[in-house]
Structure 1
Amino acid sequence: MRAAVGNRGGADYLDPMTDLPPSLQAWFDARGWALHPHQRTMLARADEPATLLIAPTGGGKTLAGFLPTLAELGEAPPPGLHTLYVSPLKALAADIRRNLGHPIEGAGLGIRVEDRTGDTPSSRKRRQRADPPHILLTTPESLALLTSYEDAARTFAGLQRVVVDEIHALAESKRGDQLMLALARLQKLAPRLRRVGLSATVEDPAAIASLLARHPDPCAILQADPGPEPDIRMLVTDEAPPWSGGGAKYAIPAVLEEVKRHRTTLIFHNTRAQAELFFHNLWLANEDALPIGIHHGSLDRGQRERVEAAMVRGDLRAIVCTGSLDLGIDWGDVDLVIQVGAPKNVKRLVQRIGRANHRYNAPSKALLVPANRFEVVECIAALEAARAGELDGEPRGRGPRDVLCQHILIAACSGPFDADDLFEEFRSAGPYAALTRAEFDACLDFCATGGYALRAYDQWQRLQRRADGRWQLRDPRSAVRIRQNIGTIQDSDTLKVKWRGRGGAPLGEVEEGFAASLSKGDTFLIGGQIVRYEGLRELVVEVTRSPGAKPKIATFMGTKFATSTQLSERILRMFRQDSWPDLPAHTAQWLALQREVSRLPSPGRLLVESFPHDGREQMVVYGFAGRNAQQTLGLLLTKRMEEMGLAPMGFVSTDYATLIWGLDAVTDPAPLFDLAALEDGLDTWLAGNAVMKRTFRASATIAGLIERQVGGQRKTGRQATMSSDILYDTLLKYDPDHLMLRITREEAMRGLVDFDRIREMKARVGGRIDHVRLSRVTPLAAPLFLEPGRVPVRGSADERLLEEGVTRLMEDSGLAEVDAGMSKPKWRVPF
C-alpha cells in the first residue's frame, strides 16, 4: 500500500477488491493508492441506515463518506439527487467540490457535483431545485431553506445518502438541532435515506450517534486507527508570561523564530480582538518582512478569500486566525500550529492541531502559548489531556423549542401538514426524541396565533386549520418572509467598515456598540491595519488610514470560550500534586507560595479566601465553573451579601474565580451558597435584566416572532433591539407565562448565565467550604486585581460611604460638634 500525495486528507484510497467504476479504479491504480481499513469498512457498510465514522484529521474520512456514492452512481449515473453533503462552513463545501472533482474528472465519470450556499447565485439555486446534481454540497441553513419549498418532495425523491461532515461542530449548537429536524423531513420524503456522520474529535460517540440516527433506530460507530501521536509542546520563551491579560505580546520574538523555521504556520486565537492585537504586534516585530496574513469572521469576505488563495498557493509564512480556520479545509502546506491563549477545551485543541501536517501518516505539530501565568497551568492540563486522548464537551440536553417553532413554519411553507404526522416526524430527530405532545402543541399554537397576548395582531396570525384538520399558512405570501429569516446563527449587531470615499473598498465589520463609542479621529485595528474613524454614513463606518497612531481594539463579536468542566477538574487534580516538575519554574514557585500562605483549590471542596486590601474587604471564590457561571455567581453572591447587610461594592470574574470587594468582612461564607436562595435571586435578577432581553431577542428571532429580514432588507441592530425590547416588556406584563418567555429563561440559564455550571459546582463541593482568613492578598488572587471587566454594585455601600464622607466633612469643619450640641462653632460657616 502506498499513501496518496497532494490530495485532501492525504488519503490512501482503494484496493483492487472494491466494486468501483472500472475507469475510477484504473485512475486509482495508476497512482498506486489503496484503501485504509476504515475506508474499506465504509464501503462494506454502505447499506447501514446510519454510520458515525471517527477518523483522525488527514485520515481520508471525507472520501470514505463518498466512496459508496461513487460506487453506486457508476460511470453512467441516472439523473437526480443521490447524495447530500452538509458541512458547517460554506468554504468547506467549496473545498470538497474541488477535491471530489479530481477523481471524478480524472476517471471521466458523468457525476455532477455542485455546492449550494448563501453565496450561490439565485439562478443556479432555481435550476438545482428543478434539475438537482448527483451530489449537492450545502450547509444546514441552505438545506432548511430547500425543504421549505413546495417542490421539495420532487427534489429529494431519489435521495439515497446524507453525509454530515464535522458533525461534532454542528452538535454543539442550534445549527445541529436545525439540521437533525431537516434530516427528519428528508427521511419522510426519501424513506430509504442512509445517514453518515464524519468527525475527528468526538468525546462521546454514543451521544453523537444518537443525535445522527433516526430515532429509535441504531447508528453504527466506526472508529479508525488514530494514527501517530501528535507532537504538542509548550513554546519556550525568554520572558515569563505576565500575571494577567490575553495578548501574549511577551511571546512575539519566540513565535517569529518558529515561523522562520517552518513552511506555513497557523497561529490560532480564541477571539477576533486578540487575533487583531497579536497580528499588529507580530507585524511590528517582523523585521524580515515575512509574508503574514490575518483571517477571521469579521473581515470582509473578499479579504478572507485573498488570504485563503495565498495560503493554497503557499505564498504566506504565517496566518493569524480564529475558529474560521478550525475545521477540515486543507489550506496549503501547513506544518505548524500555534495556539495562543489556553484552548479552554481539549476537543478544540485537537481539532486545531490537526491542521498541521494534514496527512494520516505524519504527526501533527503544535505549540501552546499561554497568555498569562494562570494559563500556563491550563495549557499543561490541556496538553496532558490531548496526549491521553481525553476529549471534553458539555452535554447539549434536549432540543430547544425556538428551533422547533421555526421548523413548524418551514413545514407550513412547503404545504399543508397534519399535526400528528409532524409531531412524530419531529420525535424521530435525535434532539427531540423526548418531545412531549403538550410541548409540541404549545409551539404549534404559538406559530398559529402568537400566543395569548399577541393573538389579536394579524402579523402573528400565521397558520390556520383547514376543514380537513390539516394546518396551512394563513396567507401564502408570508412564505417569502419566513424563508428570508430561516436560520439559527445570531450575528451580533454589526456595521460595515469601508474606506472613506466614493466606492470605498470594504474592510469588514464591527459591533454597533463599538461604533457608537467612536468619535471622529479615534483609531482602531481591523484586518491588521490601523484606521481612523471619520464618521457614520448610511450605516457604514467610514475610515481612513492612520498608520502611526495607537489603536483602540474593535470589540469584535464571537464566542468567548469558557474552560470546560473536564479541563477544570484536571487543573484541580494538578493542584493536589506535591510538586510540579512539568511546569515552568516561575509557575511552580507561584503555586508553592500559594500553598504556603493559604491553600490551593482542590476537587470536591470550595476554597474561599478573605482579606483586606486597599481599604476594602476582599473575598475570592475559586469555583472553577467557567467565565459565564463565575460572572453569574458574582451577581448572585453580591445580591445575597446585600441582603445580609455585608455592603458589597463590586466584583470581577475569570474562568476559575470571582473576586468581590466591599465594606464588611465575610466571616462565614456558607450561608451565601444556599442553592435555593441563589436561584431565587437569579429569577428576580433575570426578570428585568439586559441578559434576558438579549436572550429573548435571539430566541424570538429564531422562532419567527421577530424578523431581521423584511423585503430583502436587514433591520439594523437598533431597530431589532427596540422592537424586541417592546415585545419582551409587553409579554412580561400581560402574559408572563408566554411560551417565548419560558424558552428565554431556559436559554439564558444554559447559555449566557450558565446556571447549570453553578449547580454542578454546588453538587461537586456540597457543604465542604474551606474559608481562609488572611491579612493580605494571596498569590492566586493577585492576578484578579489586574483583570478587566470589573462590575460595580450599587447598594448600601454607596449610602454608607456617603454618610462616612459627610461625617468626615462635618468633623473637619467643626459642624459635628454643633450637631451634637457639645459646643458652639469656632468660626462661622458662610452659607
Structure 2
Amino acid sequence: MNALPPSFCAWFASRGWRVHPHQQSMLDRAGAASLLLVAPTGGGKTLAGFLPSLVELSQPRPGLHTLYISPLKALAADIRRNLTTPVQEMALPIRIEDRTGDTSYTQRRRQRADPPQILLTTPESLALLLSYEDAPRIFAGLSRVIVDEIHALAESKRGDQLMLCLSRLQTLAPGMRRVGLSATVEDPDAIARFLAPAPHPREIIHADPGPEPDIAMLETGAPPPWAGGGGRYAIPSILDQVRAHRTTLIFHNTRAQAELFFHDLWLQNHEDLPIGIHHGSLSREQRERVEAAMVAGSLRAIVCTGSLDLGIDWGDVDLVVQVGAPKNVKRLVQRIGRANHRYNAPSKALLVPANRFEVVECLAALEAARAHDLDGEPRGTGPRDVLCQHLLLLACSGPLEADATYAEVTTAGPYAGLTRAEFDDCLNFVATGGYALRAYDRWQRLMQRDGRWQLRDPRAAQMIRMNIGTILDPETVKVRIRGRGGAPLGEVEEEFAASLSQGDTFLIAGQIVRYEGLREMTVEVSRSPGRDPRVAVFNGTKFATSTLLTHRILDMFQQRDWPGLPRHTADWLALQRRASRLPQRDRLLVETFPHEGRRYLAAYGFAGRNAQQTLGLLLTKRMEEQGLAPLGFVATDYATLIWGLEDVADPAPLFDATALREGLDVWLAGNAVMKRTFRASAVISGLIARNSAGRRKTGRQATFSSDILYETLRKYDPDHLLMQITREEAMRGLVDFGRIEEMLARVGGRIDHMALDRVTPLAAPMLLEQGRVPVEGAGRERLAEEAARRLMEAAGLE
C-alpha cells in the first residue's frame, strides 16, 4: 500500500476526513496504464483521480504533468476551485489552471509557453491545443490524463474526438497514464475498452456504492392528464416539496418544457419563494447569476435541464424532482445524485409523470434504478466525419505520415476496427474533397511531399482551428432587452425569430417578452405583463425511451395486476386488456378502429419516438401505394397512430422488413432529414466552415451552401465519402431505423391484429397528441379538456 505523505495525512485529519478505500486504491495503482474508477456521486471520485498527481507533484517539477478533461466548462472551473483549496492549504508547489472557450487569448498564449502542472480543459480545447506546432513540446512530459464523467462523453461524438486526441497524446508522451471517472456506468468493461483499447492493460476499481437512494413517485392531488408533457397539474404538490426542503432541483427533458413549467410555477408561487431557471439557451450572464445564487444558497428551487446533470456541487441541494419520464435510467441516476452530494448520504428524488402513460414509464425507471439496472445503447464504430476533422487538425500541427497516423488512430477505442481502406478514404477526402470536388481549389487542402501529407497553404490552419468541434450550435440568434445596455436573455432558433411579428410575445429566461424587432442579427424585446405567451423554439434534445425501459414496460404489461401503479393507471391498463389486449415484447400489437368518420391504425412498436416517427412515414407511404388513402399520423415513444379513409384489413404486409428498408432508402434520398444530417457531417468533417475570420455564417447561409453540395454529390457522386457518412448518421440518429429493425426482429413477424369498433384506452391519448383543437386564447384549456373528456368517454375511460 502506498502511504500518503505526512502533509497529506495532516490535511485530511484537519478536515476530519479519512481516505476512502477507493481513493487509497487509486493511489496504490497510480502506475497503471489505464484505470477506470466507478464511484457514487459525492464519493470523492474527483479527489481520488487527482490524489496520485498531487502526491507526485508534492516534489517540485516543471511542465505539464496532469491533464483533466471535463464535458463542461463550468465543471472544469468548479474543479479548479475545489483543487486549489488542498494545494494552498498544504503549500504544494503546483499551479492549476483551466483552459476553455472562456479563457482569455493572453492566458491561452501564456499556457502554451509555460504550461501549468495541472491543466483542466474540455475535448474541444484539447483538440485545439494539439493542432499547434509546439504541441510536442507542451505535452512531452505529460504523465496522466483524467477523463471525468466519461460515461457522458462516451455517448457522443465529443467522446470519439477525445479518444482520437488521447491517441495523439500517447504518441507525444508514450508513458502517459489514463484515468476515467464516472458514477453511472452500465457496462464498465465497455467504458474501459473505450478509454484504452487493446493492447493497453486495463483495470477497474469499484467504490462502495453507498446507501440506496430515496426515490419515489410524487403523490399529487390530481391525476396526470391523458397527454402532454408539462407536469403543470403537479405544481401545487411540487411547491409543497420546495417549502419542505432547503434547495430543490426540478429537472425537465427539454428547454421549452422548462420555460413553460417555470412560468406556471412562478404564477402559483404566491409566497414569492426565490426560484431560478437554468438551461443551455440562456445567456452566459443569466446562467452565471443563477449558479452564483445556487452556490450562495439563496435559491429554494431551480428549474433546469441537462445543463445541471453533471458533477458540479451546486450548493445545498437536498431534493431532486424529475418532471416527465426520464427516458433513460442512467440519466435518472445521474440527476438523483445531485441531491445530498455527500458520501454515504442517500440521495432523495421524486418523479413526476407528465401524463398517464408516463406513470408506467416512471415506475419502470424507478424499479430499474433500485435494481441498479442501467441502460446503454451500443454506439458502434467511431464516426468518420470526426476522424476527418482530426486529420485536418493533425495536419495543422505539422506533416503527417499515413502509415504511422493509421496505426495511431486505431489505438483509439472507437476506431480500433477502422480498416486501412476506410482510413485512406478519409485522408483522400481531407486532401482533395473527394472525386466530385477535387477540381475545386477550395477543397484541395493537403499535398504530399517526401511521402508525408501537409497543408497546401499554411494560412488555412487558422480557418481549420476556428471550426474545431463536434457540437453543432443550433441556428440561433441572440435575444436582448431593447435599449442601451439592454440585458442579454439568451437565444432562440432563427426559424422561430423569422416567424415573429412586432407585438408577439414569447417566453424566455422565465419571463414574458414582447418582440420589437431584429437588429444586427439580435432579437430586441421589451418586457410584457401578459400571461399567455408563445414559447421560444429551443433546439434541445428530445430523448427517446431506452430499449431497457421499453422491455421493462412491456414485461410490466404482462403482470396479472399492478400494485405499484396508482389506481387510475392500473384501471386504465385493465380496461385496455378487456377492450383489446396489452402489447407484448415478442409480438406486435396492431389495432384498427373507426372514430369520427376516419379509419385508424395504431401500431405499438415501443421503438422510441424517432423510430416510431420514421415508421409512420414508411407505413403511410406503403398505404398510399396500396390505395388506403392515409391522411396523417402521430408518433409517441410507444406507438404510431395513422388515420385515413380506408380500412386496413391485413396489416401484416405493411411490416415486411425488406419493403420497409427499400421504402426508407427511397424516402431518404431527397428528404430534409438527409439534408440536415449531411449539413452536420459536412461541418464536422471540415467541408463547410461555420466560422471565418471576422464573421460567422448564419444558419440559413450554411444550409444554402450544404444543400447545393448535397444535391451535387447526390447527382454526380452518390458514393462520395460524405454521402456514405450521411446515410450512416441518419440511420442511427434522426431516423433511428436500427430501433425499427430491433423491433421487427423481436416480434419475428408475430402480429396481433385487433379489428375493433371503437377507439381503445391505449390509443385514446394519441388522438389528443394530434392537437385537434386549434383554438388560441383564454378558452383553449377548457376546450381541450372538453375534447379529452369526450374522447375518453368514447374509449370507455370516463
Shorter-normalised TM-score: what interval? over 0.9
Q: CA deviation at 1:453?
A: 1.0
Is the 1:523–1:549 contact (alpha carbons within 8 Å) kept by the matching residues of 2? Answer: no
Q: What is the Cα deviation at residue 548 of structure 1?
A: 2.0
Residue of structure 2 aligned with 1:246, choices 224, 229, 245: 229
The reply to whether residue 470 of structure 1 matches residue 452 of structure 2 is yes
1:299 corresponding residue in structure 2: 282
Say whether residues 1:509 and 2:491 are aligned partners: yes
- The match for 1:518 among 500, 505, 509 is 500
Q: Provide the residue aligned with 1:699 in structure 2.
A: 681
Contact residue 2 and residue 28 of structure 2 kept, 8 A = no
Q: Distance in 1 between matches of 2:39 and 2:150?
A: 12
Hey, what's the Cα distance between the residues in 2 that align with 1:785 and 1:373?
Answer: 14
Aligned to 2:339: 356
Matched residue SS, 1:631: helix
Q: Secondary structure at the match of 2:725?
A: helix
8 A Cα contact 1:529 1:547, kept in partner: no
SS at match of 2:199: coil
**Residue 536 of structure 1: aligned partner:** 518
Root-mean-square deviation (CA), in Å? 0.9
Which one-letter code corresponds to 1:481 in the other structure?
M
Out of 443, 458, 462, the residue aligned to residue 480 of structure 1 is: 462
Residue 157 in structure 1 maps to residue 140 in structure 2 = yes
Give the partner amino acid of 1:60.
G
1:32 offset after TM fit, Å?
3.0
- Is it true that 1:491 corresponds to 2:473 in the alignment? yes
Whole-angstrom CA distance in 2 between matches of 1:643 and 1:204: 44
- Runs of 4+, deviation exceeding 3 Å: 17-22
- SS of 1:256's equivalent in the other structure is helix
Are the counterparts in 2 of residues 23 and 108 from structure 1 also a CA contact under 8 Å? no
- What amino acid maps onto 1:523 in structure 2? T
Cα distance, 1:319 vs. partner? 0.2
Which residue of 1 is the match for residue 509 of structure 2?
A: 527
Report the counterpart of residue 293 of structure 2 in structure 1.
Answer: 310
Shift of 1:18: 4.9
Q: Which residue of 2 aligns with 1:805?
A: none
Distance 2:296 2:601 in 1: 55
Measured in 2, the distance between the counterparts of 1:789 and 1:561 equals: 21
Give the residue type in structure 2 aligned to 1:591: L
2:183 to 200, 206, 212: 200
Give the match's secondary structure for 1:218.
Answer: coil
Q: How does 1:148-187 map to 2 (within 5 A)?
A: 148-187=131-170
Q: Hey, what does 1:664 align to over in structure 2?
A: 646
* Distance of 2:220 and 2:531 partners within structure 1: 29
Q: Is the 8 A contact 2:322 2:352 kept in 1?
A: yes
Residue aligned with 1:502, SS:
coil
1:505 Cα offset (Å)? 1.6
* Structure 2 SS opposite 1:508: strand
CA distance in 2, matches of 1:545, 1:310: 23
**3-state SS of the aligned residue for 1:740?**
helix
Letter in 2 for 1:42: M
Deviations 1:145-196 (A, max 9, x none): 0100000000000000000000000000000000000000000000000000
1:708 aligns with 2:690: yes
Q: Does structure 1 retain, via aligned residues, the 8 Å contact 2:544–2:609?
A: yes
Matched, 1:654 2:636: yes
Instruction: Name the residue aligned to 2:559.
Output: 577
- 2:736 is equivalent to residue 757 of structure 1: no
Please name the residue that 1:29 is paired with.
13
| Structure 1 Cα separation of the partners of residues 212 and 291 of structure 2 | 28
1:738 corresponding residue in structure 2: 720
1:419 aligns with 2:397: no
8 Å contact 1:118–1:142 — kept in the other structure?
yes
Deviations 1:645-670 (A, max 9, x none): 21111100000000001111111111
SS of structure 2 residue aligned to 1:170: helix
Match of 2:327 in 1: 344
Give 1:789 deviation, angstroms: 7.4
Out of 609, 612, 615, the position equivalent to 2:597 is 615
Letter in 2 for 1:682: L
Say whether 1:40 aligns with 2:24: yes
Could you tell me which amino acid in structure 1 is paired with residue 579 of structure 2? V
User: Amino acid of the residue matched to residue 32 of structure 2?
Assistant: E
Structure 1 residues 475-515: Cα deviation after superposition (integer angstroms, max 9, x where no partner)? 00000000000100012100000011133221000011111
In structure 1, C-alpha distance between the alignment counterparts of 2:611 and 2:527, rounded to whole Å: 40
- Any conservation in 2 of the 1:210–1:218 contact (CA below 8 Å)? no
8 Å contact kept, 2:12–2:19: no
Which blocks of at least 5 consecutive residues in structure 2 are unaligned? 773-798
Give CA-to-partner distance per residue, 1:116-167, whole Å, 9 cap, x none. Answer: 0000001100111110000000000000001000000000000000000000
What CA distance in whole angstroms lies between the structure 2 residues aligned with 1:701 and 1:273? 26
Q: Residue 542 of structure 1 aligns to a residue in which SS?
A: strand
Distance in 2, matches of 1:103 and 1:313, equals 21
From 47, 50, 59, give the equivalent of 2:34. 50
Partner of 1:70: 54
Which residue identity is paired with 1:746? E
Q: For 1:433, which of 416, 432, 438 is the aligned residue?
A: 416
DSSP-derived class of the 2:216 partner: strand
Of 110, 114, 131 in structure 2, the residue corresponding to residue 131 of structure 1 is 114
Residue equivalent to 1:776: 758
- Per the alignment, residue 558 of structure 1 pairs with 540
What secondary structure does 1:586 align onto?
helix
Task: Give, in whole Å, the separation in 1 of the partners of 2:673 and 2:467.
Answer: 23
Q: Write the letter of the residue equivalent to 2:230.
A: G
CA distance in 2, matches of 1:327, 1:789: 35
Aligned residue for 2:98?
Answer: 115
Match of 1:821 in 2: none
1:49, 1:622 → 2: CA distance? 48
- Counterpart of 2:243? 260
Q: Following TM superposition, by how much is the alpha carbon of 1:392 offset from its aligned partner in structure 2, in angstroms?
A: 0.3
Aligned residue type for 1:573: D
State the Cα deviation string for residues 232-272 of structure 1 (Å, max 9, x = none).
01000000100000111100000000000000000000000
Tell me if 1:89 matches 2:45: no
String of CA shifts for 1:545-582, please: whole Å, max 9, x gaps.
10224100111111100000000000000000010111
Q: Aligned with 2:497: secondary structure?
A: helix
Shift of 1:30: 2.2
> Which of 208, 212, 215 pairs up with 1:229?
212
CA distance in 1, matches of 2:482, 2:499: 19
Q: Does the 8 A contact of 1:81 with 1:133 survive in 2?
A: yes
Equivalents in 1 of 2:39, 2:3: separation in Å? Answer: 23
Radius of gyration: which is bigger?
Answer: 1
* CA distance in 1 between partners of 2:771 and 2:29 (Å): 53
Question: What is the one-letter code of the residue matched to 1:643?
Answer: E
What amino acid is aligned across from residue 700 of structure 2 in structure 1? Answer: R
CA positional deviation for 1:614: 1.3
Paired with 1:22 and 1:720, the residues of 2 have a C-alpha distance of: 59
* TM-score, normalization by structure 1: 0.92
The unaligned stretches of length 5 or more in structure 1 are: 1-16, 791-831
What residue in structure 1 maps to residue 428 of structure 2?
445
Query: Is contact 1:494–1:510 with CA below 8 Å preserved after alignment?
Result: yes
Q: Secondary structure at the match of 2:349?
A: strand
For 1:96 and 1:338, the matched residues in 2 are separated by 25
Residues 682 and 722 in structure 2, CA contact (< 8 A), matched pair in contact too: yes
Counterpart residue number, 2:123: 140
Assess if the C-alpha contact under 8 Å between 1:24 and 1:104 holds in 2: no
Q: Which moved more, 1:303-312 or 1:215-224?
A: 215-224
Please state whether the residue corresponding to 2:298 is helix, strand or coil.
coil
Cα displacement string for residues 276-306 of structure 1 (whole angstroms, at most 9, x for unaligned residues):
0000000000011100000000001001001
What is the deviation of 1:788? Answer: 4.4
Identity of aligned residues (%): 76
Which residue of structure 2 aligns with residue 799 of structure 1?
none
1:642 to partner: Cα distance:
1.1
Is the CA contact (8 Å cut-off) linking 1:493 and 1:717 kept in structure 2?
A: yes
SS in structure 2 opposite 1:222?
strand
TM-fit CA distance, 1:221: 1.1
Once residues 269 and 35 of structure 2 are traced to their aligned partners in structure 1, the CA distance between those partners, rounded to angstroms, is 48
